[in-house]
Structure 1
Amino acid sequence: MDWYQTLFELIDMRSFSNLWFWIVLAVVWSTASHWVLGVPYDMVLRARRHAGQAEVDLEDMVRINVNRLLYIGRVSGLWLLGFGCFFLTLLVLMGFVYGMEFAQAVFLLGFPLSLIGLLSLSTARLIQVEEAAGDLLHKRLMRHRLYTQIIGMISIFVTALWGMYQNMTIGALGG
């Protein structure tokens, strides 16, 4: 019985008071801002600084990822949108109507990431339509990263406020 108690103390379903949730939140947003359309941001910086083969590599990698994203969007975009909306609605109902803290935490992670997904599709479409290369490609990727970071900062702020509210409310009620 002691083993189960120890395990459930380590993996607490009260997400906002759990250190693991905050670690996951930080890792998710640092990863989301590092990978711009599936391309590591250091590759964009290297291409800007050194051009040549680094630029060719960047353009090839962006072309591959843009084509992949747009293909997925064309083939199964409506299904993914439908399932995504269903899943987010389910999380809102379970989390905010029925008060399940774990669902609230997953929603506060998932909703902003779904916005990043839509932003990625929009940026990929722009890159393909403009046939972006060189400085224009760098500009698009850097703007995408900036918007991702802005969404991430807002998301972390809202999540922190909601988490503090939850912790104070549950703490005041006695757990």
Structure 2
Amino acid sequence: MNWYASIFELIDMRSFSNLWFWIALAVFWSTASHWALGVPFDMVQRARRHNGQAEIDLLDITRVNVNRILFIARVSGPWILGFACFLLTTLALLGFWYGVEFAQAVFLLAFPMSLVALLSLSTAQQIETEGSQGEVLCRRLSRHRLKTQLIGTASIFVTALWGMYQNINIGVL
């Protein structure tokens, strides 16, 4: 037995049985739910409590991020959509048709995050259209965060079920 086989026997390199994958998944969704449209959620809470400068700061950072998101969508939206669909289709085919576990793991991270990206685009458009400010803006960002958390919860649940299925299935073989 060579050293390469010994290392890979000691450290399981499969995605769903690797502790690092699950840590990355938790950090991934924790970060995604903390940043609503690129705005840290603590700024929303501070603006609700203290008004004044905190509310002005929230309005400024939200305006900058909304304008950035909408500019990117208007300029490069069709290209980004096409590339994202190509990438997700490739990952789904490699993962679930050809059985590549790493592609399955990346797909189970990327697909729900693409839903969050669409949600962010929709929320940014709503904020721009209605010119949200003050409590209305805080409510809109809070709703965006809640929807992101719901997508994340469903994603973690589905990923955990699929990961357990993969681990049991490979363990039996």
Separation of aligned partners in 1, 2:165 and 2:4 = 31
Separation of aligned partners in 1, 2:67 and 2:9 = 44
Aligned residue for 1:165? Answer: 165
Is 1:107 equivalent to 2:107 in the alignment? yes
| Correspondence list, 1:1-175, <5 A | 1-2=2-3, 5-6=6-7, 9-10=10-11, 12=13, 14-173=14-173
Indicate how the Cα distance of structure 1 residues 147 and 110 shifts in structure 2: closer, same or farther if over 3 A, else same: same
Separation of aligned partners in 2, 1:25 and 1:10 = 19
Indicate how the Cα distance of structure 1 residues 3 and 100 shifts in structure 2: closer, same or farther if over 3 A, else same: closer
Separation of aligned partners in 2, 1:45 and 1:39 = 11
Q: How many residues get paired? A: 172
Structure 1 ranges of 4+ moved more than 2 A: 1-11
The percent identity for this pair of structures is 66
RMSD: 1.3
Please state whether the residue corresponding to 2:16 is helix, strand or coil. Answer: helix
Please state whether the residue corresponding to 1:17 is helix, strand or coil. Answer: coil
List gaps (5 residues or longer) in structure 2: none
**Structure 1 residue 90: Cα displacement:** 0.2
Question: Please, what TM-score do these two structures have when normalized by structure 1?
Answer: 0.95
List gaps (5 residues or longer) in structure 1: none
Indicate how the Cα distance of structure 1 residues 48 and 97 shifts in structure 2: closer, same or farther if over 3 A, else same: same
Question: Please, what TM-score do these two structures have when normalized by structure 2?
Answer: 0.96
Please state whether the residue corresponding to 1:15 is helix, strand or coil. Answer: coil
Separation of aligned partners in 1, 2:64 and 2:116 = 19
Separation of aligned partners in 2, 1:33 and 1:9 = 34
Please state whether the residue corresponding to 2:102 is helix, strand or coil. Answer: helix
Indicate how the Cα distance of structure 1 residues 129 and 166 shifts in structure 2: closer, same or farther if over 3 A, else same: same
